[in-house]
Amino acid sequence: MTSPKKNAEFQSLSRRTFVRGTGAVLAASALPFPRHVHAAGDDTLKVALIGCGGRGAGAAAQALSTSGSVKLWAMADLFADKLDTSLSALCTGQDAQYDRAAHKGLAGKIEVPPERRFIGFDAYKRAVDSGVDVVILTTAPHFRPIHFEYAAQQGKHVFMEKPVAVDAAGIRRVLAAAEVAKQKNLKVGVGLQRHHDALYEETVKRIHDGEIGEVVYQRAYWNGSGYRVRPAREAGMSEMTYQLRNPYHYTWISGDNIAEQHVHNLDVCNWIKRAHPVTAQGQGGRQVRIGPLFGDIYDHHYVEFTYEDGSQLFSQCRHMTGCWSSVAEFVVGTKGKAEVHAGRIETGADTWRYRGPKTNPYQVEHDRLFEAIRNDRPFNEAEQGAISTMTAIMGRLATYSGKVITWDDALKSELALAPDRYDFDGTPPVLPGPDGIYPCAVPGVTKVL
């Protein structure tokens, strides 16, 4: 299990950090609320899945695989075909992108008749209001603050995927909702699952216990071939619909790959430091993944983050085929070094390797969340998720601008990434040029704060 001391330290850091940056928002939200408790021995926990892609179906299967009686009660998505595909995969386990073993025997725990299948921009509200206890938020990241805010207001426990926002305005909204959740005694899990991986837990504990001395610098990587590319748009498809069908490739929807994926590695490095960086500077761009199918995100970012104590984190994420791939975290200290992702620590002639049990952190994070719900134990990872997401956002602001970005300036930014309205005929914040290619950020020119 995760160390209570470690959680308390990180949560204390989170609270201090965000009270400095968003005190007015928190003051407005920290009002007295009735305590919401689902005590051990209560009836079935009913779950709503909001966001029916592959990660959503996987999270739903993991929720249904926790101990105790659980029912998938409602589902919501922008698109009916995505909901139908996800529901079919959950019921049958026949889709290759899902873990069939995890879905075995789950069909009897799924009770989602047509009247509890909700489609459209307001579908999340109808799912939250359908009589459920727990809400799983796995839509594109842009919508996470909106959906988390509503779920907390309605008194629902939440599991939400990372990243938890795409801009500072969204981070502040998540923080305010996290305070509401605390006041209502709601449990909140965030899909930064390395915190629930036994290998990572033991390795980080040893670093915290001083095995490699004081941390001098860290290196973090998410270098791979890239996310899948959707086909060209269908005839008559609106620009908003097309972008929402291809969410990963637009900064306003996904936060760019530094937030969408690399946030995992940045989260580990913050966990090790029990702090967040205070400045970031770096560079990035779009060199290979160029064309109408690739939206406006970069295909590579390199960021040097500096923490308050002067130690640094050197961060890379890249989406290019035929290049070196690595998803990893390394730490160098005054007495040794660690390969965190591999569970390996070297101190002089001695080498420690993790030899403990292999756990499925995706399942463990749900097991712990649902156990906390059933037994009314503290569990709120929203602030931790917000810190790590904000770290990724700060890094993106540095690469997009080519400037040194401070934590305080980034967190106070009023620049919000959003369409003119939430409608399939609405206008997204980025549009293609005459050649069909979307303009991307230009360092030295693009306004990021």
Per residue in 225-267, pLDDT (tens digit) is: 988 887 778 899 999 999 999 999 999 999 999 999 999 999 9
CA torsion sign for 110, 254, 372, 38 is negative
Residues 133-150 have a mean pLDDT of 98
| 137, 213: one domain | no
Q: Please report the beta strands in 61-176, taking only residues with DSSP state E, as ranges in sequence order.
A: 70-77, 117-119, 134-137, 157-160
CB 105, CB 137: distance < 8 Å: no
User: In CATH, what number is assigned to the domain containing residue 106?
Assistant: 3.40.50.720
| 355, 238: one domain | yes
**Averaged pLDDT score across all residues of the chain:** 91
| 217, 273: one domain | yes
pLDDT at site 102: 54
Calpha distance 389→283 (Å, rounded): 19
| 249, 175: one domain | no
Per-residue pLDDT tens digits for 323-346: 999 999 999 999 999 999 999 999
User: In CATH, what number is assigned to the domain containing residue 322?
Assistant: 3.30.360.10
Per-residue pLDDT tens digits for 295-315: 999 999 999 999 999 999 999
Contacts 24+ apart (CB under 8 A), 90-93: 90/57, 90/60, 90/61
Query: What confidence category does residue 99 fall into, taking pLDDT thresholds of 50, 70 and 90?
Result: low
CB 252, CB 429: distance < 8 Å: yes
| 119, 172: one domain | yes
| 301, 238: one domain | yes
Residue 288 included in any domain: yes
Q: Find the helix or strand (DSSP H, E) in which 283 lies.
A: strand 277-285
**Nearest 5 degrees, angle CA 27-CA 32-CA 37?**
125
Calpha distance 97→52 (Å, rounded): 13
Name the phi and psi angles at 371, rounded to 5. Answer: -65, -40
Residues 44-48 have a mean pLDDT of 97
Calpha distance 271→81 (Å, rounded): 39
Q: What region, left, alpha or beta, does residue 295 occupy, with left being phi > 0 and alpha being psi -120 to 50 degrees?
A: left
| pLDDT higher than threshold 80 for residue 162 | yes
Q: Find the helix or strand (DSSP H, E) in which 350 lies.
A: strand 350-353
Query: What confidence category does residue 349 fall into, taking pLDDT thresholds of 50, 70 and 90?
Result: confident
Q: Please report the beta strands in 116-232, taking only residues with DSSP state E, as ranges in sequence order.
A: 117-119, 134-137, 157-160, 188-190, 215-224
Residue 244 included in any domain: yes
pLDDT at site 233: 84
Per-residue pLDDT tens digits for 392-442: 999 999 999 999 999 999 999 999 999 999 999 999 999 999 999 999 999
Per-residue pLDDT tens digits for 112-138: 999 999 999 999 999 999 999 999 999
pLDDT at site 6: 45
Residue 302 included in any domain: yes
Residue 421 included in any domain: no
| pLDDT higher than threshold 80 for residue 2 | no
Residue 14 included in any domain: yes
Calpha distance 141→306 (Å, rounded): 26
- How many separate domains does the chain show? 2
Residue 425 included in any domain: no
Got the DSSP string for 300-329?
EEEEEEEETTS-EEEEEEEE-TTS--EEEE
Got the DSSP string for 287-303?
SSS-STTSTT--SEEEE
Residues 150-162 have a mean pLDDT of 98
| pLDDT higher than threshold 70 for residue 30 | no
Question: Model's pTM, two decimal places?
Answer: 0.91
Which tokens in the block code for residue 106?
């789950």
> Residue 79, SS3?
coil
| 188, 203: one domain | no
Q: Find the helix or strand (DSSP H, E) in which 239 lies.
A: helix 239-245
| pLDDT higher than threshold 70 for residue 8 | no
Calpha distance 113→260 (Å, rounded): 32
pLDDT at site 385: 98
Beta bridge partner(s), residue 301: 284, 317
| Pairing outcome for strands 277-285 and 405-406 | antiparallel
Q: What is the DSSP letter of 413?
A: -
Of the chain, the percentage scoring pLDDT greater than 90 comes to 83
Residue 445 included in any domain: no
Per-residue pLDDT tens digits for 177-214: 999 999 999 999 999 999 999 999 999 999 999 999 99
| 346, 366: one domain | no
Residue 136 included in any domain: yes
Calpha distance 52→185 (Å, rounded): 27
pLDDT at site 96: 44
| 237, 175: one domain | no
Range of the domain at 77: 4-194+362-381
| 187, 225: one domain | no
pLDDT at site 3: 43
| 291, 374: one domain | no
pLDDT at site 228: 81
| 167, 94: one domain | yes
Number of H helices, E strands in the chain: 15, 15
| pLDDT higher than threshold 80 for residue 21 | no
pLDDT at site 42: 53
